[in-house]
Amino acid sequence: MSLLSDVPVSTDESRRIETDVLIIGAGPAGLYGAYYAGFRGLRVAVMDVLPQCGGQISAMYPEKPIFDIAGFPAVRGRDLVDSLVAQAEPYEPVYLLGHRAVELSHDADGRPVVRGDQGITVHAGAVVVTGGVGTFTPRPLPAGEAFLGRGQVYFVPRPADHADRDVLVVGGGDSAFDWAVTLAPLARSVRIVHRTDRFRAHRATVDKARALGIDILVDSEVSALHGAAHLERVEIRHRVDRTARVFPVQTLVTALGFKADLGPLQNWGLTLRARRIAVDTRMATNVPRVFAAGDITDYPGKVRLIAVGFGEVATAVNNAATVIDPEAQLFPGHSTDKED
Ligand SMILES: Cc1cc2nc3c(=O)[nH]c(=O)nc-3n(C[C@H](O)[C@H](O)[C@H](O)COP(=O)(O)OP(=O)(O)OC[C@H]3O[C@@H](n4cnc5c(N)ncnc54)[C@H](O)[C@@H]3O)c2cc1C
């Protein structure tokens, strides 16, 4: 996998990428689209504003088993993302991670040109937008973010980074409890702090956290962060009796949810319905050579599930292939006919 989280720049020209298909959004739909484009013999680039692949799965529930993926009675979120990346890998997708797609134009030949916020321009034969709910921005910790990148994090892509640390997780939802349960076997200590005594997290995960001995502080909130170069201690205040306690903390995971925002995609001239992109049965949008798939699309009867996104992105990429090359067949052939 060519992970271009930061594209090497030697000349201005290196900021220009030529590809057949540009996929915007590295969630499950986008990753499967990368496989499909490769399977069709097309060059593919995948752009995502997040530093990791997997979209909502990686951001919100990497450790949760998913039960409704065809052929898998249960698959852990993280494992599904890894498998999707592995499935596309033989076709060497170019991953442009950490880049937000901000502007769409068309060149003199009518081919889409997408500009990223870090100065990259991608010239493509077709664009497939798999942007999910848009870019999600983590809700900040009310006590402040002075230690972001110095102990304070929103995601836990590599749990091992937090081995032997005292971890504090803020929040009462699924991701808060998932991170806590994931880190418990590795960390020196794990504590959860939540503003109320009611949790949005799945009951089974809350029970698991308790069984693992995770200290759950309710009706409490973070009131101050302390440290020098790195986070060292956190003060937690009880919201009713106002007593404060200070705990050693080297990792603070803020899991207070996300704000979703279609952002720049709203200005691309795409027909939107209820903040989703309207598509036809080919998954084509109203903008030439721009297709969409996954949670971001809207049409009568739309169901927002990973399984549905897989089907939609296969349709989108196959139709894009016929736009890129009018001689190409819509039907891709069977993967079973492919040589190993
Ligand atoms: C807690 C939870 C549990 C769930 N459980 C299930 C389940 O059991 N089964 C199921 O089928 N579904 C489940 N879902 C829903 C499922 O996760 C979504 O349907 C799925 O992730 C949608 O995939 P997607 O690829 O369309 O979009 P997403 O996963 O949302 O990915 C979209 C990606 O696009 C990126 N992006 C957006 N705009 C831009 C831009 N302008 N530039 C660059 N990048 C951009 C985002 O950063 C994101 O990474 C669950 C969701 C949640 C939150």
Same domain? 56 vs 69: yes
Q: What is the reported pLDDT for 3?
A: 45
Same domain? 125 vs 151: no
Q: What is the reported pLDDT for 35?
A: 98
Q: Which amino acid, residue 118?
A: Q
Q: Are 253 and 167 in contact (CB under 8 A)?
A: yes
Q: What is the reported pLDDT for 45?
A: 97
Same domain? 173 vs 232: yes
CA-nearest of 81, 37, 35 to 55 is 81
Q: What is the reported pLDDT for 210?
A: 96
Which of 256, 280, 304 terminates a domain? The answer is 256
For residues 96 and 14, give the distance between their C-alpha atoms in angstroms, rounded to a whole number.
13
Which of 256, 272, 292 terminates a domain? The answer is 256
Same domain? 33 vs 7: yes
Same domain? 145 vs 161: yes
Q: Tell me how many domains the chain contains.
A: 2
Question: Across-strand partners of 105?
Answer: 113
SS3 content of the chain, % helix, strand, coil (to 5): 25, 30, 40
Could you tell me the distance, in angstroms and rounded to a whole number, from the CA of residue 48 to the centre of ligand 1? 12
Q: What is the reported pLDDT for 14?
A: 62
| Structural domain containing residue 244 | 140-256
- Give the DSSP letter string of 72-127: BS-EEHHHHHHHHHHHHGGG--EEEET--EEEEEE-TTS-EEEEETTS-EEEEEEE
Same domain? 152 vs 82: no
**306, 308, 310, 312: residue to mutate for ligand 1 pocket, most atoms within 8 A of CB:** 306
Q: Which atom of ligand 1 is nearest to the CA of 29?
A: 25
Question: Across-strand partners of 106?
Answer: 112
For residues 247 and 67, give the distance between their C-alpha atoms in angstroms, rounded to a whole number.
38
CB 28 near ligand 1, within 6 Å: yes
pTM across the whole model: 0.83
Q: What is the reported pLDDT for 12?
A: 55
For residue 233, the domain's CATH number is: 3.50.50.60
Which of 256, 274, 299 terminates a domain? The answer is 256
Residue closest via CA to ligand 1's atom 35 equals 25
Q: Which helix (H) or strand (E) holds 323?
A: helix 306-324
Q: Which amino acid, residue 322?
A: T
Q: What is the reported pLDDT for 218?
A: 98
Same domain? 123 vs 171: no
Q: What is the reported pLDDT for 65?
A: 86
Residue closest via CA to ligand 1's atom 5 equals 66
Same domain? 18 vs 95: yes
Q: Which helix (H) or strand (E) holds 136?
A: strand 135-138
Same domain? 119 vs 146: no
Same domain? 218 vs 293: no
Same domain? 263 vs 251: no
Tokens for 99, please give them. 């880049």
In the chain, which stretches have pLDDT less than 70?
Answer: 1-14, 339-340
Same domain? 38 vs 63: yes
Question: What's the length of the chain?
Answer: 340
Burial class (CB in 10 A: 0-12, 13-18, 19+), 110: exposed
